[in-house]
Amino acid sequence: MYMEAYKRWMETELEDAALTAELNSIEGNEEEIKDRFAVALKFGTAGLRGVLGAGTNRMNIYVVRQATQGLANWVKTQGGNQLVAISYDSRINSDVFAKEAAKVLAANGIKVRIYDALMPVPALSFATRYYEANAGIMVTASHNPAKYNGYKAYGPDGCQMTDEAADIVYAEIQKTDILEGAKMMSFEEGMEAGLIEYVGDDCKEALYDAIKARSVRPGLCKTAGLKLVYSPLNGSGLVPVMRILNDIGIDDITIVPEQQYPDGNFPTCPYPNPEIFEALRLGLELAVKEGADLMLATDPDADRVGIAMKCPDGTYELVSGNEVGALLLDYICASRIEKGTMPERAVAVKSLVSTPLADAIAAHYGVEMRNVLTGFKWIGDQIAQLEAAGEVDRFIFGFEESYGYLAGPYVRDKDAVIGSMLICEMAAYYRSIGSSLKQRMEEIYAEYGRYLNKTDSYEFPGLSGMDKMAGIMADLRQNPPAAIGEYKVTKVTDYKNTEETGLPAANVLVYDLEGGAQAIVRPSGTEPKIKTYFTTLGKDLAEAQAQKDALAAALAPLFA
């Protein structure tokens, strides 16, 4: 089958000369042909993601057109405005893929609102809601290496698409011939017909206003004298993050020059992920040189933000997503109570793999903490439930350990722009009272105990990788461990069992251990990886780390 597909692509006059050249270069190499054509990229709730190149198992204009025709078929059944919002980041071909999607939608008689320049995930989520669109498309592969791109699909609520909708779209994609099945119209024709329009300044300004409205201590940053180093990691964060920080009064900002402007090759950080030290290395060097209070970096689609904070001895410490989540929750709660802006029966939401320290902080401030499945759409779902009940103002903060934060219901995905604003405001506040982020973090640990949260990943590359992962998860269910190392398992929660959890089914296993530690095992939804999340609690960091190391060593053989 894959040889036939390859032959057909070879015989077709492709519009992209680079794809033709790639196909010619692999002629006679069965392994390379198989890798590109044996399977098609699967469309799921996270849309599509894959390596750029020729074939059904790659990201290219034909895969994007086919996916968009499938999406168009679904939109046509939805009534409403018959409109789709589109945005894109700095990745290779992101702008090309965004326009290809617009052309297919327009040819199907569906209106398009597309950004006239790259804008991040939160801007797409906002535009989808602002224009009351049926769907949204964000062209990005988030924090994957440069050779990847992707296509995230959003529902009318501005959340990533539901399983049910994604299944229908995928079925429609499979009915669409990849090379000829998508309806097409030129971008210019679409503009002339009034089917394609650029997102207006009214929408852009409304987003900025909505973000600034969530400031907890308005006006504070104008006088606090915060000194910041910022890196957009060659992504889409530069314009919106700088606009918001300048608007709230932070103007002592040094941008990492090598990472300032959009560049899908990510020349200085092969893995443009703010969780990884290497991506922040240039920023940290600049922070030391500048004596900055804080170093901040957003990922290419600017939905996640990572930081390094200055310590009393002048060194800088990377702060984990869990620690930033705990700091922000503590800051928002304490400040809103002090200012009298805390809503009654306030709600915070986090993913179940994020730190239990946040549950303890929420309880301290009398805030209800809701734990949901991994994936920010489940946090968005909780906001939607509050909105449906007319209680959306109860939502004060949501986060997940992978550096995703949101305060406010104006979008339904993580937002590095508001994350950056609140982190800087929080740092400016502690600076203004003679404290620091580092000092506050130590105070939190002194009050609640020394929590340590660490994540390990095991990769399973190649076509057989997914099967291996499925086998490991099945084995863990059939033969649940009675202990992990020296730590007795006191409870196993299987999130496939919806009756037990009260949440939608998910491929997640949680092991509660004697002494309060926890281990969680789940396959990644977007990459061929199994992730293990460890939470340990010690009297100090050394004790918590030793416990984590023992647990990780005991689990590792299962993933060999």
Query: pTM for the whole thing?
Result: 0.93
From residue 500, alpha-carbon distances to 306, 504, 505 in Å are: 34, 10, 10
Alpha carbon distance 65, 97 (integer Å)? 8
- pLDDT tops 80 at residue 294: yes
Alpha carbon distance 354, 287 (integer Å)? 28
Alpha carbon distance 298, 300 (integer Å)? 7
Mean pLDDT, all residues of the chain = 95
Going by pLDDT thresholds of 50, 70 and 90, the confidence category of residue 558 is: confident
Which pLDDT belongs to residue 503? 86
* C-alpha closest to that of 324 among 337, 342, 305, 311: 305
Going by pLDDT thresholds of 50, 70 and 90, the confidence category of residue 232 is: very high
Respond yes or no: is residue 215 known to be catalytic.
no
- Tell me which of 142, 236, 320, 335 is the catalytic residue: 142
Strand order in the sheet with 529-538: 450-459, 529-538, 518-523, 509-513, 487-494, 483-484
* Mean pLDDT score, 518-534: 89
H/E element holding 389?
Answer: none
- pLDDT tops 80 at residue 67: yes
- pLDDT tops 90 at residue 515: no
To the nearest whole percent, how much of the chain has pLDDT over 70? 100
- pLDDT tops 90 at residue 44: no
Going by pLDDT thresholds of 50, 70 and 90, the confidence category of residue 527 is: confident
Look up residue 60 and give its two tokens: 């290219």
